[in-house]
Structure 1
Amino acid sequence: MYSFMGVFTTAIFWSFELIFDGIFNYQYAKYLGALIGLTIGYIIKYNLDKRFVFNMEQHQPSQDKKV
């Protein structure tokens, strides 16, 4: 799951970089797109990892269950 989150956010980064490079006729447009994409990607990755990968409640058995 952790690896998938990394691939997903890397695709966001590359998409922003390529879109900015293609749309704007400016020398540093792809770097601006990369910065924006990287920022958005890391924010999304942090939240997804916190919810799905490093969620301790999800990985621990419930204490309420009786055997």
Structure 2
Amino acid sequence: MHSRGADRVELCLRLETEGMTPDSELTKSLCDHLHIPVRVMVRATEAGYEADALALQHMIESIHA
């Protein structure tokens, strides 16, 4: 896949909720096919941008997936 002049991609799902973390398969596929940096949103809930310990652990696990 060509970048068509882009110097990076910002990846997230569900923009109507201000963005959510995409699934790991989509993220891996995009990273495998692009040769530019991919910035991935990490957000586990629609409840805002603050995270309790459980939500934070979920986000950390999604980063390592």
TM-score (norm 2): 0.27
Structure with higher Rg: it is 1
The structure carrying a bigger helix percent of its residues is 1
TM-score (norm 1): 0.26
